[in-house]
Amino acid sequence: MSKKIYKQALSAVLAPLLLLAWCTPGWAISLKEEQELSQQFMRMVHRNFELIDDPLIRDYVGRVGQKILAALPPQPFAYHFYVVKEEVYNAFAIPAGYIFINSGLLLAMDSEEELAGILSHEISHVVCRHISQRIERSKKIDLASMAGVVAGIFLGVAGGSPQAAQALTLGSAAAGQSLSLAYSRDDESQADQMGLSYLAGAGYSANGLLEVLKKIRGKQWFGSDQIPTYMMTHPAVEERIAHIDTWMATQGSASKEKKENVPSTQFRRIQYRLRALYGDPTAALQFFKSALAKNPSHADAAYGYGLTLSRTGSHTQAVTYLQQVLTQNALDPIVLGDLGKIYFLAGRTKDALEILRGAATLPNPNPEGLFYLGRTYIESGDYAAAADSLERLLRIQDDYAPAYYYLGEAYGKLGRNPEAHYFLGMYHFKKGDDRLAYHHLVRAQKEIQDPAKLETIKKSLEILNKLPKEALQ
């Protein structure tokens, strides 16, 4: 091996490790405290904000995040990715690997590269433990209250919900910590530098991050109440754009070359699904009508239009558009699952059962198809089959809260009360309803035999028992 090739290989191995060592703080709250903070934070999020629970959207964002994480050294915790139903442009990270992006920002993007750019930056904040350092420096209140401060900062400022922010920032002592927890220019520069390295390692160009920052900057108008939330929590956007532009100009030809910003088929379908099911329905109908007027054979636009029609109650029309999409691929498991869902919502139980059973046999089935197959079985009185379908769904998407509720119902109908209490307890735990979660989990703990479920109950009750007693009564 030549000396030059050896140096290149050594650099490729050591660069991520050196970057990690460079950003690892000498002072920060412990990893255990990070986990506790994130648990308290998530309970506040579930109680005060709407997360998009759609398994297809969450899975896609998560897979892009995991692709970036594959370029990192081993991490001390698992990362979780969430989409917040909020039009304001924002993305943020909290300690212990919880990454959030607002639906409005995701819809504004033009490609997966832009999503990867934002996620790499937020992942870098977690790796560098920026919030953890600032909490340690200003830790004058307990972690539960500090979780409220963090939630208020990231979820409630400048275009979010001021009322929710005020409620989350608990008391004047906590409110006083807000400014000291905000990211600094140095934090942002460091996260960008790390993020650019991670993007390159994952096979993405820096152009995605550059373009999405320009979109965020373009949202800034006159008046502080119209400044995008992202620019309030992540300062110096203009400086960051200039830095990334300069970085791209000084890198090798591969980094300089800007790829055409064309969305992949999967990215576009996920965006259309997000717009159809979680955006403004009137605006979505107009968007898809316009797309189909330009190109009547546009399958993804027909798919999005069908989903929006179903959402507005026009199930018969919705079926027509999804059947149109299936003429191009009769065995598309995603579209078949959505068609079965529409049949179920229209009260066509027999048609739903036929479609959803078939879709469930295909590779990579639509998780929502499995969910509605379970619900269709419940409607048909086949509770054992319902439990099988919903259990299968949770093996694919263990965070899909509605599945826990209907599993509780199915097991209750089967007379399996310990399992019923377990799944109902976990449903309420995931939705932030502490009192009902505590009630069901305590009941389940007394009788359930499954060791894995008992361990989950134990961990959940440990979190709940840290809350004020009146919250559980």
pLDDT in tens, 339-354: 999 999 999 999 999 9
Greatest C-alpha distance within the chain: 72
What pLDDT shows up at residue 243?
78
Give 65 or 245, the one with higher predicted confidence: 65
User: Which two tokens mark 203?
Assistant: 């096979």
Q: Give the pLDDT mean for 256-266.
A: 57
Q: Give the pLDDT mean for 11-23.
A: 39
What pLDDT shows up at residue 2?
43
What pLDDT shows up at residue 18?
36
- How confident is residue 239, by pLDDT bands cut at 50, 70 and 90? confident
What pLDDT shows up at residue 107?
96
Bridge partners, residue 83, by sequence? 101
* pLDDT greater than 50 at residue 366: yes
Q: Give the pLDDT mean for 74-97.
A: 89
What pLDDT shows up at residue 46?
80
Query: Does residue 72 contact residue 194 with C-beta atoms inside 8 Å?
Result: no
Give 169 or 93, the one with higher predicted confidence: 93
Amino acid at 147: A
* pLDDT greater than 60 at residue 173: no
Q: Please choose, from the candidates 300, 153, 290, the residue with its C-alpha nearest in 3D space to the C-alpha of residue 235.
A: 153
Q: Give the pLDDT mean for 364-372.
A: 95
Amino acid at 237: V
What pLDDT shows up at residue 179?
43
What pLDDT shows up at residue 426?
97
- How confident is residue 12, by pLDDT bands cut at 50, 70 and 90? very low
- How confident is residue 360, by pLDDT bands cut at 50, 70 and 90? very high
What pLDDT shows up at residue 145?
59
Query: Does residue 431 contact residue 405 with C-beta atoms inside 8 Å?
Result: no
* pLDDT greater than 70 at residue 127: yes
What pLDDT shows up at residue 152?
62
* pLDDT greater than 50 at residue 158: no
* pLDDT greater than 80 at residue 223: no
Residue 271 CB neighbour total at 10 angstroms: 23
Give per-residue pLDDT as tens, 427-459: 999 988 999 999 999 999 999 999 999 999 999
Query: Over pLDDT 70: what percentage of the chain?
Result: 75
Q: Are strands 98-102 and 91-94 parallel, antiparallel or unpaired?
A: antiparallel
What is the location of CATH 1.25.40.10 in the chain? Answer: 265-472
- How confident is residue 233, by pLDDT bands cut at 50, 70 and 90? low
* pLDDT greater than 90 at residue 290: yes
What pLDDT shows up at residue 246?
79
Q: What is the CATH number of domain 265-472?
A: 1.25.40.10
* pLDDT greater than 80 at residue 207: yes
- How confident is residue 171, by pLDDT bands cut at 50, 70 and 90? very low
